[in-house]
Structures are given as C-alpha cells and as structure tokens.
Amino acid sequence: MPKGININLANKGGNMTSKDLSIFNSLRPFSIGFDDMFDQFESMLGNGSFAVQGKYPPYNIRKAGKDKYAIEVAVAGFNKNDVEVEYEDNLLTIKTKQVKSTEKKDGEKIIHRGISQRSFARSFTIADDVKVGGAELKDGLLTISCEKIVPEAKKKRLIEIK
C-alpha cells in the first residue's frame, strides 16, 4: 500500500462507525507529532466523504518506484480541456469542468450511450511529504505522478550515546 496516499477504509457496510474512528483515537497515546494526520482521518471518515464519492470514475493507485506513485483515473470520452486537476491543502481533486453536450453534428444521433460523459469529482488526500508532480492524459487514462520526498531529518541515522 503506498504510504502518503489515502485509501478507502470503509467497513463491510461502507459506512464508518464511531468504533472505526476509535481505532485512530486509540493510537494517539502511542505517537508523537501525528495530531494533524489523526485529525485528517477523523475529518475524512467522520463526515462520510468516502461514501459520497461513489465509484465513478474508476482509478488505480500504482507504485511506480521506491518513492514514486501514480494515480490513474479512467476518463474515456474526455479530453484535457474537459478535466481539471487541482491541488490545495493536501487535497488533490480531479473533476470535470463542464458536462459535454450529447448532441452530434450533422444530424447524427446516439443510439446507445455506453461511454459515460457525466460530470464527476474525485478527491485524494495527499501526505505533507508527497509532492504532486504533474498530470498527463493519454488514451483515456489520466495519470498524475506523485513522489514522496524524504527530508534529511526523517532519514535513518544513528544516535550517538554520550
């Protein structure tokens, strides 16, 4: 599981309960400096934001290297002018700018619509030490590259005993 990128933590019913939130609260006494992270989890899980997102559009989170990740979102039928990628306050949001017109030129009609072109918004919580690099749309797949930047202070080192 990629560190620094959220995953759906819903229980079998799909809704978080106070018991599920208490798991994070029970970890607080054993950690130092993770208050912001626990607050983010409580915010995400407590307001039901996982259940609100739905399943469209489908996505993958892929580990592309030691500290590199890629978020792949299937956006068939959309081009780069139809989709917007925003990153603010550790929240990466992919959404449509506007819903495309369903009418075709020259009197053409759609007999069957199997390729969805509905509006969507999908958000991912990104850790403080993960940098969002860029986005590329190719063959109906929007790929957003991310990299975990490990500062010197967090790298493994030996502590001298005096």
Domain layout of the chain by residue ranges: 1-54, 55-162
pLDDT tens, N- to C-terminus, the chain (162 residues)? 444 544 444 444 444 454 555 666 676 666 666 666 666 666 666 555 554 557 788 999 999 888 899 999 999 888 899 999 999 988 899 999 876 555 566 778 878 877 767 788 998 888 888 999 999 999 999 999 999 988 888 788 898 999
Half-sphere exposure of 106 (CA within 13 A, CB side): 0
In contact, 122 and 94? CB cutoff 8 Å? yes
Read off the pLDDT of residues 23-69 as tens digits, 9 standing for 90 and up: 666 766 666 666 666 666 666 665 555 545 577 889 999 998 888 99
Give dist(CA 160, CA 162) in Å, integer.
6
Q: Which of 50, 70, 48, 47 is nearest to 59 (CA)?
A: 70
Burial 26-55 (b: 16+ CB within 10 A, else e): eeeeeeeeeeeeeebbeebbeeeebeeeee
Against a cut of 0.75, is the pTM above it?
Answer: no
Fold of 55-162: Immunoglobulin-like (2.60.40)
Written as six digits, the tokens of 29 are: 């006494």
